[in-house]
């Protein structure tokens, strides 16, 4: 039997505080019936975190996530937000290494590795994002890129922290483009990631780590993706800004 799926919504740079509150309220109310059926999370902008936390409550079915964080706990780092501050704001997890952080803000594998370690030590769950560009895929470099991102960011993690990790495979060419990897393309990479986890750690650990797909996930393609044996849910972008679409994806996950 397949494990309980995850559906996380990444709101990116969208929604003022009032809009975030309204969206959080709709997701919270619509998610009640999926308690214990789907692992649900939302990642608002920093300025809305406290307000969304207040809407969701401390023991909500919906987990509050941050979209990013800085690995140093405090100091002269103007403009950054540390993981202890995110935890203090009510976050239970954080997204690290999103393709937009890697490619728009030039975050290296080394920096992402430092963030993963710092976030886990702070007590936050980590959703680590991996993905290749269209050029890399066309050049047959997909697994080479994914393996390097995975190895540099994960395999230094001590056993006590490993079950707090979630992986999200998100091909860069499918982020915000309307293009989606076919279920078969996504499953191929997910299976390779699972196999690498099993070889580097243990089969028991590899089976417990959820591997999500991210890249233009919508209600119309969610079912075919979730039916794949190594796809454990979705990191949803644009569709998570519409509560009806997001809840529909959650509903699909609850039946698989």
Query: Over the chain, what is the mean pLDDT?
Result: 93
Provide the sign of the torsion angle of the four alpha carbons 75, 101, 12, 42, taken in this order: negative
Annotate 108-173 with DSSP letters as a single string: -HHHHHHHHHHHHHHT-EEEEEE---HHHHHTT-HHHHHHHHHHHHHTTS-GGGGGGEEEEE--GG
Q: What is the pLDDT of residues 36-78, one digit of tens each?
A: 999 999 999 999 999 999 999 987 899 999 999 999 999 999 9
Closest C-alpha to 153, from 123, 122, 196: 196
Q: Indicate whether 3 pLDDT > 90.
A: no
Tell me, yes or no, if 170 is annotated catalytic. Answer: yes
Catalytic residue selected from 100, 107, 117, 170: 170
Q: Is the full-model pTM beyond 0.85?
A: yes
Catalytic residue selected from 6, 98, 117, 190: 98
User: What is the bridge-based pairing of β-strands 165-169 and 210-214?
Assistant: parallel
When pLDDT is cut at 50, 70 and 90, the band that residue 156 belongs to is: confident
Residue with tokens 């954080």: 94
Q: Please state, for a pLDDT cut of 70, what percent of the chain lies above it.
A: 97
- The CATH superfamily of 5-254 is Aldolase class I (3.20.20.70)
Tell me, yes or no, if 190 is annotated catalytic. Answer: no
Q: What is the pLDDT of residues 209-250, one digit of tens each?
A: 999 999 889 999 999 999 999 999 999 999 999 999 999 999
């Amino acid at each position: 039997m397949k494990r309980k799926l995850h559906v996380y919504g990444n709101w990116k740079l969208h929604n003022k505080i009032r809009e975030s509150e309204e969206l959080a309220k709709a997701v919270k109310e619509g998610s009640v019936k999926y308690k214990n059926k789907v692992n649900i999370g939302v990642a608002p902008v920093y300025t809305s975190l406290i307000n969304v936390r207040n809407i969701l409550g401390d023991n909500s079915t919906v987990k509050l996530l941050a979209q990013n964080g800085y690995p140093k706990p405090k100091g002269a780092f103007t403009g950054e937000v540390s993981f202890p501050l995110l935890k203090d704001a009510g976050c239970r997890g954080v997204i690290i290494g999103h393709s937009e952080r890697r490619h728009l803000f030039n975050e290296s594998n080394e920096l992402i590795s430092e963030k993963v370690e710092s976030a886990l030590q702070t007590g936050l769950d980590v959703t680590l994002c991996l993905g290749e560009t269209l050029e890399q895929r066309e050049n047959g470099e997909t697994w080479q890129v994914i393996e390097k991102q995975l190895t540099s960011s994960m395999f230094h993690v001590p056993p006590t922290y490993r079950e707090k990790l979630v992986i999200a495979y998100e091909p860069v060419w499918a982020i915000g483009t309307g293009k989606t990897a076919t279920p078969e393309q996504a499953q191929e990479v997910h299976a390779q990631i699972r196999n690498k986890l099993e070889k580097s750690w243990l089969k028991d650990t590899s089976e417990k780590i959820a591997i999500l797909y991210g890249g233009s996930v919508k209600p119309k393609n969610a079912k075919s993706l979730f039916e794949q044996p190594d796809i454990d849910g979705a990191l949803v972008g644009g569709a998570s800004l519409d509560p009806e679409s997001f809840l529909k994806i959650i509903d699909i996950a609850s039946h698989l």
